[in-house]
Amino acid sequence: MREYARYEGPWWETQKGHQRNQISTAVGWLLLGIGIGAAAALLLTPSTGRELRNALAFGYRRTLDGVSRGTQQLRQHGSNLINFTRRLS
C-alpha cells in the first residue's frame, strides 16, 4: 500500500518541490557567480583604491540624484493629473 501512495494525486503536484529546489539552487549559483565576478573585477581593476571608491561614490550619488529627479517628476505629473481631474468634476 505504501508503494501506491507515491502515485496518488496529479503528477504536477509531486513535481512542485523538485522545481522549487532546482530554482533555489540556480539562484544560489547565480549569486555566487555575481559575487566571484565582482571580487575579480575589484582585484583586477587598474585604478587605485581611492580612485575606485571615488568612482563608486560618484555613481551612487548620480543614481540617487536621478531617482530623486524621477520622483519629483512623478509627483509633478501626479499633481497635474489630480488638478486636471478636479477641473473635470
Report how many domains make up the chain.
2
Q: Are 45 and 52 in contact (CB under 8 A)?
A: yes
Within-domain flag for 2: no
Q: How wide is the angle at C-alpha 33 spanned by C-alphas 29 and 38, nearest 5°?
A: 150
Q: Which pLDDT band holds residue 10 (cuts at 50, 70, 90)? A: low
First-to-final CA distance of the chain:
70
Domain span at residue 57 reads 47-89
| pLDDT tens figures, 27-85 | 999 999 999 998 888 778 888 888 888 988 998 999 988 888 888 888 887 777 777 77
Within-domain flag for 28: yes
Within-domain flag for 6: no
DSSP three-state, residue 89: coil
